[in-house]
Amino acid sequence: MNTSSNESMIKMLNRKGTLTDERVAEAIRNIPREYFLSGHPVSKVYSDIPLPTEKGQTISQPSVVSVMTELLNPQHGDRILEIGTGSGWQSAILSYLVGEKGQIYSIERIESLAEKARENLEKAGIEGVNVFAGDGSTGLREYAPYRRIICTAAAPEVADEWFEQLEDSGRIVVPVGDFLSQTMIVMEKRGAKRQIVKKEPGYRFVPLRGKKGQ
């Protein structure tokens, strides 16, 4: 791992105020981003920019990953559903945070990307991440309930299926909106009620595809 570049990136995220949780910083410090972005120069890998991956997809810039991770607030032992595996970097960070007693279930629509993410995770020595190919817009009912659900693509709304697969008092983090205007939604489940914890505009993700997607 390019340690100096990784530390420089962490300091840059600290200065921007997008990385404030030392637990998340420690996870980023221990997950080499370069393992998930083969073919890109190190100068770009550790810059705060989104980068293209296979099949026209992108890996979000580190500041967005750190913000979403902090909003999700994963804890040791959590069972987490991630919708949109991408390269697997976000999955790896979540796995580090939930520890050996936790599990990450990540679902990717594109089969070849799911396979590539598995390879990246193995290369980085990450265990505890289960990658599936399929339609994440309706969740992954087989392994529910989840303590946390995170979606890394722009959804038209928080799907009923996600809410149903969430534990009581669990949390969902997802960008909601069309291609031009998206708001990061943080929602918690209170019995049968949805409680919006935070709304933050100004995001731009690729659209979520599938039955409940764009």
Q: Known catalytic residues?
A: 60
- The whole-angstrom separation of Cα 90 and Cα 210 is 21
Strands 193-203 and 182-190 come out as antiparallel
Give the closest residue to 89 by CA, choosing from 137, 148, 143, 38.
38
DSSP track, 24-83: HHHHHHHS-GGGG-TTS-HHHHTSSS-EE-GGG-EEPPHHHHHHHHHHH---TT-EEEEE
Amino acid symbol at 163: F
Question: What φ, ψ does residue 201 adopt, rounded to 5°?
Answer: -80, 175
- The whole-angstrom separation of Cα 96 and Cα 75 is 10
